[in-house]
Amino acid sequence: MYNYFSMKILLATHNPSKFERYNNLLREVANLELVSLQGVSISEKVDEPFATAKENAIHKAVKYARISQLPTLAVDEAVTTNFLLRSLVH
């Protein structure tokens, strides 16, 4: 049976390695096509004005979704090392 449903989701990154990594992770999801900013001709970079990775990811997803008119996934892979401070204090 053929499924006519297909969804494009924009990945909000200009980093080709990050796009490839997420594209590989989501490749097996049926009827899902991950598209890059470059693939939809978006060169604009969105600022990251917030204190947390979560807030910046939401901000980027909303901004790029408005520009592209596509559902958008943004992942801020900020590395946190607070656990180091806690382990030294305790």
Half-sphere exposure of 1 (CA within 13 A, CB side): 2
Ranges of the chain with pLDDT below 50: 1, 90
pLDDT score of 77: 77
- Please report the pLDDT score of residue 43 as a whole number: 97
The parent domain of residue 33 ranges over 7-89
CATH of the domain at 34: 3.90.950.10
Per-residue pLDDT, 20: 96
What's the confidence (pLDDT) of residue 82?
57
Which candidate, 62, 59, 73, 57, places its Cα nearest to that of 7?
A: 73
| H or E segment to which residue 10 belongs | strand 7-11
The pTM for the full model equals 0.79
Q: Is residue 2 part of a domain?
A: no
Q: How many domains does the chain have?
A: 1
Share of the chain above pLDDT 90, in %: 68
Coil, strand, or helix at residue 41?
A: coil
